A and B are shown apart, each in its own frame.
Chain A
Amino acid sequence: MEITTNYQDQVAVVAVEGSIDALTSGDVSAHLAGQISQGYHHMILDLSQVEYMSSAGLRAIMEGLKTSRQAGGDLRLAEPQPGVDKVLRMAGFPSIMKSYSSLAEAAASFKD
């Protein structure tokens, strides 16, 4: 799994490539927490290159969401692929956080 981050204005765009599961979710959590501690409270998790997500991955996203909101920001999802989107929907994520079909839409949502 690889994590890369770029910054658009005050929004950290965290792109993950690979799986977010029990073997990798700790790195994702630490990375999201790191962005918040650097002052990037608004984050987008780019899921376009994530092929699989297990329960540990869901918990990592939830943790990132809680931490960002506690800091006054938000974590939003971009481009979840069908398999990952299915798991996110089953776990009720659409009712608690915002998800967009493209990165551009997710970025624009922070300007609204």
Chain B
Amino acid sequence: MNPPKNNRLALVIGSGAVKCAAALGVWKVLNRAGIKVDLLVGCSGGSLFATTMALGYSVDECIELTQRLWNRSITRKRDTRSFLKALLPQVFKFDERFGMIDDHAMFKNLRAVFGERTFTDTVVPLYLLATDFYTGEPVVLDRGTLVYALRASISVPFIWRPWRIGERFLIDGAVSNPLPVDVAIREGVELILAVGFETPAPRRIKSISRFVFHLNSVMTNNLYRANFAFHNLAHHAEIITVLPDFTQQVSLFDTQHIPYVIQQGEHAMEQQLPYLQRLLGENHSS
């Protein structure tokens, strides 16, 4: 087993909603140490942070944009039509476009932050993960309008309806690949910082939606571990896991915890920094 042959570095940010803000802590440490990332990969909530970083925003700007994007306003309005379709499927013609929350507010926020920018506007190559609703295959999005790719990548099952891009109906990348290190491996990167999170389960199961989310969390977490195991053992790439510890409970929309989450990410990255610097040093000197 040898050190990586090239010094290209990828930052992969897995799914995890607000917890993904820990990637900003990782970003802070890398910036402080003068370490440049050559490729960014995001999945679900991680896509939002990967995109703001890829567009070249500072850490403070990323925090501000996140708070504008991801807050309780995006879950306030239910998708009445979906509820009617669920109650009376024959009458309202139930189909795959089902989501409990109206997505207009979320889409408006995405538009307000990212406008019409495309993948070609990024200063670091960016790859976002979604899942094909019909086949279950992971779909890597790396071209076109960022807002559409983000909307697809964060189509959390049951919450927001799938999003069509071209001929494909896309849902949350976490459904197929919660921590997509393989995207970086496929792009020939041999040194990968993988920031991963387990999906939180509801604190109490007191409704059918929480029951469904609980099962969704169980399945996503098992997939996360299985994929992680496979990619760690099957490839020669060096995967440095950055696993922030959260002693406080951080749920889907706990944006008030963002400073704490960033701090935990920063702390986790600081622990890995000496090793990363050694690896990059070896590659520079070889």
Binding site for B on A (CB under 8 A): 19, 21-23, 25-26, 29, 52, 54-56, 58-60, 62, 83, 86-87, 89-92
Q: Which residues of B206-223 are within 8 A (CB) of A?
A: none
Q: Are the CB atoms of B2 and A22 closer together than 8 Å?
A: yes
Q: Which residues of B261-286 are within 8 A (CB) of A?
A: 271-272, 275, 278-279, 282
Give which listed residue, B228, B233, B240, B279, contacts A59 with CB less than 8 A. B233
Cβ-closest chain B residue relative to A26: B1
Q: Are the CB atoms of B240 and A54 closer together than 8 Å?
A: yes
Interface assignment of B143: CB less than 8 Å from any CB of chain A = no
Number of interface residues of B (CB under 8 A): 26
Task: Give every chain A residue within 8 A of B279 (Cβ-Cβ).
Answer: 22-23
Number of CB contacts from chain A to chain B under 8 A: 64
Q: Are the CB atoms of B275 and A21 closer together than 8 Å?
A: yes
Task: Give every chain B residue within 8 A of A54 (Cβ-Cβ).
Answer: 238-241, 275
Binding site for A on B (CB under 8 A): 1-4, 196, 224-226, 228-229, 231-233, 235, 237-241, 243, 271-272, 275, 278-279, 282
The CA of A23 and the CA of B279, in the complex, are separated in Å by: 8
19 intermolecular pairs with C-beta atoms under 8 Å apart: A21-B275, A22-B1, A23-B278, A23-B279, A23-B282, A26-B1, A52-B272, A52-B275, A54-B240, A55-B232, A55-B237, A55-B240, A55-B241, A58-B232, A59-B233, A87-B241, A91-B225, A91-B229, A92-B225
Q: Are the CB atoms of A90 and B241 closer together than 8 Å?
A: yes
Q: Are the CB atoms of A19 and B239 closer together than 8 Å?
A: no
Residue among A55, A59, A87 with max Cβ neighbours from chain B (10 Å): A55
Cβ-closest chain A residue relative to B226: A92
Q: Are the CB atoms of B229 and A92 closer together than 8 Å?
A: yes
Chain A proximity of B191: nearest CB distance (Å)? 9
The CA of A74 and the CA of B271, in the complex, are separated in Å by: 32
Cβ-closest chain A residue relative to B268: A83
Chain A proximity of B51: nearest CB distance (Å)? 26
The CA of A87 and the CA of B194, in the complex, are separated in Å by: 12
Task: Give every chain B residue within 8 A of A62 (Cβ-Cβ).
Answer: 233
Q: Are the CB atoms of B275 and A58 closer together than 8 Å?
A: no
The CA of A59 and the CA of B275, in the complex, are separated in Å by: 18
Task: Give every chain B residue within 8 A of A29 (Cβ-Cβ).
Answer: 1
Task: Give every chain B residue within 8 A of A87 (Cβ-Cβ).
Answer: 241, 243
Q: Are the CB atoms of A55 and B238 closer together than 8 Å?
A: yes
Residue among A56, A59, A87 with max Cβ neighbours from chain B (10 Å): A56
Residue among B231, B232, B271 with max Cβ neighbours from chain A (10 Å): B232
Chain A proximity of B271: nearest CB distance (Å)? 8
Task: Give every chain B residue within 8 A of A91 (Cβ-Cβ).
Answer: 225, 228-229, 232-233
Cβ-closest chain B residue relative to A91: B229
Q: Are the CB atoms of B243 and A60 closer together than 8 Å?
A: no
Q: Are the CB atoms of A25 and B229 closer together than 8 Å?
A: no
Give which listed residue, B3, B235, B271, contacts A23 with CB less than 8 A. B3
